């Protein structure tokens, strides 16, 4: 990502890795679940997958189990990234521009009460309390690659359900061509909102067919637990074939619109961040190559082994048809 400076224009921020501190939110929820026996059942379900996934339950936040997804491409046998890496090396500019800032600062975010407003070109607009939104459909666990534009990647077990389930419920009108996601911008709880890095609130968008694709996940958890604040609590989307900044965090509004919506990084630097932002090793960022990537957790930041970046982040078989006939260098 970029930082705006009066003197130098856009410059790339220094990335730093730090040891994650404890996550304090969610303990009361976990105690309530334990009291009802739900947490035990959830952790038992997670333990059944532990041998395959190669990870252990983090045991830090309220349990949020999900059955293994049957959606093609929603599972991988790749090594899952460590929870500490996935929760301490993040882009979340509302809490700072270094990779280690969100885990230090996001404890100020209040995720209850929380509502998501659905508006625009839909037959059934309305507001959803986060609890009702979670209950809208059965939770699934999906192990997705996360590839960021700076050249780093992870493999994360997310928990949620296809965004298409919500879209079908609200019944978009025929002229709804895009879905826009607006995130929380609260300067009282998000210390970097108001900075000149971006135009706040952070907004992202998808074409309707992208939003309806079964791999696009409305996400409430990861690693069998609710989302940590620094990872986009209490609700985000995950679009695994796109660069990470397309997966909006801490969503408060979902709008259905006819024209392509303006998006945060596209407005900040259109020549560097296109609306589609599909992972494409053949289209370089203007200042660095996208041909290879570094998997976080595989060695030190300076000497880590790099691997080839996969077209559409490895999901070409599932989503390539969405872009048939498009010039992917023009529509980057």
282: which residues sit within 8 A by CB, 6+ positions away?
290, 291, 311, 328, 329
Q: Is the pLDDT of residue 38 over 50?
A: no
Per-residue pLDDT, 34: 40
pLDDT category, 298, cuts 50, 70, 90?
Answer: confident
CATH at 231: 3.90.420.10
Q: How many CA atoms lie within 13 A of 184 on its CB side?
A: 28
Euclidean distance between CA atoms 220 and 228, whole angstroms = 10
Q: Is the pLDDT of residue 79 over 90?
A: yes
Report yes or no on 283 lying in a domain: yes
Domain range enclosing 313: 16-323
Tens of pLDDT, residues 155-176: 999 999 999 999 999 999 999 9
Report yes or no on 144 lying in a domain: yes
Report yes or no on 9 lying in a domain: no
Report yes or no on 2 lying in a domain: no
Report yes or no on 110 lying in a domain: yes
pLDDT category, 54, cuts 50, 70, 90?
Answer: very low
Report yes or no on 4 lying in a domain: no
Tens of pLDDT, residues 115-158: 999 999 999 999 999 999 999 999 999 999 999 999 999 999 99
Q: Output the six-digit token pair for 223.
A: 């690693």
Q: How many domains does the chain have?
A: 1
């Amino acid at each position: 990502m970029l930082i705006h400076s009066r003197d130098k224009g856009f410059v790339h921020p220094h990335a730093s890795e730090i040891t994650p501190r404890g996550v304090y939110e969610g303990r009361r929820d976990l105690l309530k679940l334990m009291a009802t026996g739900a947490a035990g059942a959830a952790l038992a379900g997670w333990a059944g997958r532990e041998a395959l996934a190669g990870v252990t339950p983090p045991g830090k936040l309220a349990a949020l189990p999900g059955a293994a997804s049957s959606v093609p491409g929603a599972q991988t046998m790749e090594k899952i990234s460590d929870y500490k890496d996935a929760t301490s090396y993040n882009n979340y500019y509302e809490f700072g521009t270094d990779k280690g800032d969100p885990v230090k600062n996001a404890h100020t975010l209040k995720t209850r009460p929380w509502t998501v407003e659905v508006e625009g070109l839909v037959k059934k607009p309305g507001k959803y309390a986060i609890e009702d939104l979670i209950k809208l459909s059965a939770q699934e666990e999906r192990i997705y690659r996360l590839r960021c534009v700076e050249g780093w990647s992870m493999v994360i077990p997310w928990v949620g359900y296809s965004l298409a389930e919500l879209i079908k419920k609200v019944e978009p009108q025929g002229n709804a061509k895009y879905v826009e996601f607006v995130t929380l911008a609260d300067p009282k709880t998000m210390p970097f909102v108001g900075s000149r890095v971006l135009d706040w609130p952070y907004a992202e968008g998808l074409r309707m067919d992208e939003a309806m694709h079964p791999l696009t996940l409305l996400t409430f958890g990861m690693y069998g637990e609710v989302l940590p604040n620094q990872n986009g609590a209490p609700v985000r989307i995950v679009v695994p074939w796109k660069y990470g900044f397309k997966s909006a965090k801490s969503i408060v509004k979902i709008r259905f619109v006819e024209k392509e919506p303006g998006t945060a990084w596209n407005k900040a630097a259109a020549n560097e961040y296109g609306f589609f932002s599909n992972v494409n090793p053949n289209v370089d960022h203007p200042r660095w190559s996208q041909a290879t990537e570094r998997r976080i957790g595989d060695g030190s930041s300076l000497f880590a082994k790099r691997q080839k970046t996969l077209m559409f982040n490895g999901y070409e078989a599932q989503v390539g048809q969405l872009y048939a006939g498009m010039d992917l260098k023009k529509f980057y």
